[in-house]
Amino acid sequence: MTGHMTPEEFRRYGRQVVDWIADYQEKVESYPVLSQARPGDVLAGLPAHPPERGEGFEAVLADLDRVVLPGITHWQHPGFFAYFPANASGPAILGDLLSAGLGVQGMLWATSPACTELETRVLDWLAELLDLPARFRSGGAGGGVIQDSASGAALVAVLAALHRADGGASGRDGINRRHTLYISSQTHSSMEKAARVAGIGAGNVRVVDTDPGTLAMDPARLEAMLAADAAAGALPVLVCATVGTTSTTAVDPVAAIGEVCRRHGVWLHVDAAYAGVAAVCPELRWVNDGLDGHVDSYSTNPHKWLLTNFDCNAFWVADREPLVGALSILPEYLRNRATTSGEVIDYRDWQISLGRRFRALKLWSVIRWYGAEGLREHVRTGVRLAGGLAEEIAADPGFELLPHHPFGLVCFRPRWEGLPDVEADAATMRLMERLNASGDLYLTHTKVGGRVLLRMAIGAPATGDAHVAAAWERIRAEAAAEG
């Protein structure tokens, strides 16, 4: 029998694991970016039954190489350009390891004061680094919290907005009149999911028109819909504006939308999951335009572009009252003096689940390791590489470029001269599949105005000029072969 791992054994295996990760970082480029595994391959490599007798940890490490790695898509590969980046970094990995090592559950201030107070401080730090309005800092009525994801933040925002809109009635009695929520066709799907989960219903999610050129939400259309819905007896709950949409990084006019929301007394949530962290750079602070107006909640993901391993969403509210009102329940077994004193934050009241990990450690490690300077440098590298690629694409007569690319995402397609749209789109998809099968790079696609575009999202810490140049060379060559 293998008993509990002793500190001595932990030291030995821990060094092996850290070495394994360092080796992985050194050779990540040698793997095919997109896993070549077929459905069931990984399953077939795993025993159907758990072991009766404990094994040495070497056995786990051996299977990691044999079974797990072939089924890994390498998000930290310098040729990973799919979706958005999910940055990992040394300090974030070590911060997460420390969190696991401490093994605390930070549901209440009292269950580990440091887990709460470090999180409060780090979210204030991040608000300062991004130059967010003072309302979002913990010193006043608002404050920040780490959520698992932007999707979790969206749900929490909807629940807080619901609470404010009907004074807690639906939380108590259930929703018994029509509530509405406003998005655009470019809003992330997590908002519709939040509406479903919150009981508002997907059918009451109203889709506001966007400008066909900029794909930004039209505030005049929003105002008209809000007025018409309210006149018809609905209770508008929340509007979601996006800064940096998932499809093309389009930017909604937050200031104008905020004015509409103010007039109608509706909660405005700003989803800046990918692009919000760009505000670490003064030259990109325009992403905050409008946040100093009527904005009730704001969310961005350090786990995308800001070097912090998943999961780490930063979520701020201008007023914590409706949030805590919506989510606080105090059963007898959680009663404690600190909570009843009202002097402390209990973050369980700011999220869906009760329990919570000590995620602030990894964000704290990242901010201290890189400093504001290092974070800016990372974002600037992504923006510079994307800008350079966009210039190459624009200069190539065989390709068409989506002109909007202020961050790390570039959208484009081959022109496929002479092909009807449907066939051209099919050719673009075939091109993407061939590129992704090559193992050298990984791209995804989107549709704008019904037409397929390739998305190349630059921002992995390992990606440099040579990787982007090689990817572009490859794309041109494969497109020429296809065309």
Ligand X SMILES: *Cc1c(COP(=O)(O)O)cnc(C)c1O
Residues 408/386, Cβ–Cβ less than 8 Å: yes
Q: Strands 235-242 and 205-208, how do they pair? A: unpaired
3-class secondary structure, 474: helix
Nearest distance from C-beta of residue 247 to ligand X, angstroms: 9
Residue with Cβ nearer ligand X (132 or 150): 150
Secondary structure letter of residue 238 according to DSSP: E
Name, in order, each residue with C-beta under 8 angstroms of 58's C-beta and a sequence gap of 6 or more.
16
Residue with Cβ nearer ligand X (149 or 210): 149
Residue with Cβ nearer ligand X (99 or 248): 248
| 314 strand-pairing partners | 146, 300
Nearest distance from C-beta of residue 470 to ligand X, angstroms: 26
Q: Strands 409-414 and 444-448, how do they pair? A: unpaired
3-class secondary structure, 184: strand
Residue with Cβ nearer ligand X (111 or 246): 246
Secondary structure letter of residue 65 according to DSSP: I
Nearest distance from C-beta of residue 30 to ligand X, angstroms: 28
Residue with Cβ nearer ligand X (291 or 424): 291
3-class secondary structure, 283: helix
Nearest distance from C-beta of residue 391 to ligand X, angstroms: 25
Rg of the chain taking only CA atoms, in angstroms: 24
Residue with Cβ nearer ligand X (120 or 187): 187
Residue 63: Cβ-neighbour burial (10 angstroms; 0-12, 13-18, 19+): middle
Select from 157, 202, 201, 208 the least CA-distant residue to 177.
Answer: 201
Kind and range of the H or E run holding 89: none
Residue with Cβ nearer ligand X (165 or 312): 312
Cis status, amide bond into 311, omega within 30 of 0: yes
Residue with Cβ nearer ligand X (184 or 313): 313
Nearest distance from C-beta of residue 417 to ligand X, angstroms: 33
**Residue 202: how many CA atoms within 13 Å on its side-chain side?**
4
Packing angle, helices 219-231 and 254-264, rounded to 10: 20
Nearest distance from C-beta of residue 81 to ligand X, angstroms: 15
d(CA 358, CA 317): 20
- What CA dihedral angle connects 163, 165, 169 and 174, to 10 degrees? -80
Nearest distance from C-beta of residue 52 to ligand X, angstroms: 38
Nearest distance from C-beta of residue 209 to ligand X, angstroms: 19
Nearest distance from C-beta of residue 95 to ligand X, angstroms: 18
Residue with Cβ nearer ligand X (229 or 311): 311
Interface residue list for ligand X (CB under 6 A)? 84, 149-151, 188, 190, 242, 245-246, 271, 273-274, 301, 313
Residue with Cβ nearer ligand X (96 or 166): 96
Residue type, 327: L
Nearest distance from C-beta of residue 246 to ligand X, angstroms: 4
The terminus-to-terminus CA distance of the chain in angstroms comes to: 63
3-class secondary structure, 266: coil
